[in-house]
Amino acid sequence: MTTSMYATYTLIPVIADLPVGQNLQNHWATILTFELAPNIKPFTEKQVDESQIKNYIYYKKGVLTSPGLSVLAFLNRKEPIAAGNYPDHQLYFWEGATDLAEHQLNIRPDYFEAIFGPYKDKHFYFCLSQILRPKGRGEVTLRSADPYDPPVIDPKYFSHPDDLEVIVEGMKKCKEIGESEAMKKIGSKIFTTVYPGCERFVDDD
């Protein structure tokens, strides 16, 4: 029994000794952001384009049939995907705008300004690297016997070294795709701003 489980059991009588809350798996992710050429209209602008609205209403076609994700990729960092060997990470590509990033990514205001501040008038897209089969396990425990108290959530990210390797591999793949010749044709260029606290990792491969 873990310390947190023992603390939980002391709050309320135990009816069944089950490891409830000890298998928290979160499919967390990291994001790389790339600038686009000025002539590439962002998805948020296409959504309110009159022609696109008509195209969807009358023909059920156009950008409004898309949730905004341009490309999805399921990958495995080691062996090719085969029977029984499921992908361990996924890449998402979607076009963004600063207001979208600010309100939907839940980034702290000071971090948001550090990353997106110099690019507020730019068009850009995100590449998100998400872990699909995390090996680390977090936990959810009680804060008190009051059912209205929020629980204590400890996701224990990177508690297993393989999870970090998977995420880094996905980030490298994002960078490789974003800097490919095909993507350069639409002005793809990785953001040069750095998340506060990550400055010492800038030159890492």
Per DSSP, helices labelled H in the chain are: 3-9, 43-47, 50-59, 98-104, 109-116, 161-178, 181-184
Note the pTM of the prediction, 2 decimals: 0.80
Summarize pLDDT for 163-201 with one digit per residue, the tens.
999 999 999 999 999 999 999 999 999 998 988 888 887
Complete DSSP assignment for 8-51: HHTTS--SS---TTS-B----EEEEEEEE-TTS--HHHHHT-HH
Residue 28 near residue 163 (C-beta atoms within 8 A):
no
- Look at residue 152 and tell me whether its pLDDT is greater than 70: yes
**8 lies in a domain?**
no
Q: What is the pLDDT of residue 86?
A: 82
Share of the chain above pLDDT 70, in %: 87
- Look at residue 95 and tell me whether its pLDDT is greater than 90: no
Q: What is the pLDDT of residue 81?
A: 59
**204 lies in a domain?**
no
Instruction: Note down the domain range covering 60.
Output: 29-76+87-134+161-190
**147 lies in a domain?**
no
**167 lies in a domain?**
yes
**202 lies in a domain?**
no
Summarize pLDDT for 2-49 with one digit per residue, the tens.
555 555 566 777 777 788 888 999 888 988 999 999 888 777 777 778
**21 lies in a domain?**
no
pLDDT, the chain, mean? 84
Position 2, amino acid: T
Number of structural domains, the chain? 1
